[in-house]
Amino acid sequence: MTKLDELIAVAHKLRQPGGCPWDAEQTHESLTKYLIEETYELVHAIESGDRDEILEELGDVLYQVIFHSDLAAAGSLGESFDIQDVAELSAKKMMGRHPHVFGTPEEHEKYAAKTGDEVMVNWDAHKQREKPERSSVLDGIPQALPALALADKVLGKAEKIGLLDADAPGPFSVTGEAELGAILLAVVSSGRAAGLDSERALREALRELQVEIRHAEIEEGFDAGVIAVPNED
């Protein structure tokens, strides 16, 4: 038995009769907050660069995946699946999106990529073929992302359809993350002083930007003017 098999067995036993009452009571919905919490703890560990902390937090995130898979194996979502099905689907997806590595000789040539940017162009094309029901570049973006992370995603999509020029300078000139962090902190501080919610304000601006993007996908030349720095006048 591998260490991974052992962890899978531990998660399963905890949910069985005679196991842990708390584990047995959990659902996909009740576990969501723990998945989010463990993910943020892993991010913190990565940013700290602490090897032991990263090791521990990777294990906690992995355990969440195993926990949800064990719930699904018991039929919590209708037709059951287990961690092996999760791994199989993930491997299939990664191999399908990397035909320049796992494909036929013809696919190696067709999707040859020498840079990360070239890989991402192919990646987006593979995703579109996998999910033809998606009609907008915005489809699939989780709207529950924190506002800053959501903003980065949405702005990237705006660049993809040409609504924003990826090579153009931004509204503010910044030289590094320390300076950018100070600017963001100042914006939040100004919002607090004015009694405003910075998270909600950014989400509202993003909702307007996403409307602009969807219109631009349909109507060439559409510009709602959302992406701009307000004048002081």
pLDDT at 225: 52
If you average pLDDT over every residue of the chain, what do you get?
A: 88
Q: What is residue 36's predicted lDDT score, i.e. its pLDDT?
A: 92
Q: DSSP label at 219?
A: S
d(CA 205, CA 202) in angstroms, rounded, equals 5
Q: Is pLDDT of 226 > 70?
A: no
Give residue 218's pLDDT.
Answer: 80
Tokens linked to 132:
């033809």
pLDDT tens for 49-103 read: 999 999 999 999 999 999 999 999 999 999 999 999 999 999 999 998 898 899 8
Structure tokens at 57: 């937090």
Predicted local distance difference test score (pLDDT) of residue 198 = 93
Q: Residue 193 belongs to what H/E stretch?
A: helix 177-193
pLDDT over 70 percentage in the chain: 89
pLDDT surpassing 80 at residue 132: no
d(CA 137, CA 214): 8
pLDDT digits (tens, 9 = 90+) for 165-220: 878 888 888 889 999 999 999 999 999 999 999 999 999 999 998 998 888 888 76
Q: Which burial class, exposed, middle or buried, applies to 229 when counting CB atoms under 10 A from its CB (0-12, 13-18, 19+)?
A: exposed
Please give the C-alpha separations between residue 50 and each of 4, 17, 39, 44, in angstroms, as whole numbers.
Answer: 23, 38, 16, 10
What's the predicted TM-score (pTM) here? Answer: 0.71
- Report how far residue 95's alpha carbon sits from residue 91's, in angstroms, rounded to the nearest whole number: 6
And the tokens for 37? 């919490």
pLDDT of residue 50: 96
Phi, psi dihedral angles at 85 (to 5 degrees): -65, -40
**Domains of the chain by range and CATH?**
3-89 (1.10.287.1080), 147-218 (no CATH)
Q: Can you give the three-state secondary structure of 70-113, one letter per residue?
A: HHHHCCCCCCCCCHHHHHHHHHHHHHHCCHHHHCCHHHHHHCCC
Q: Is the pLDDT of residue 115 over 60?
A: yes
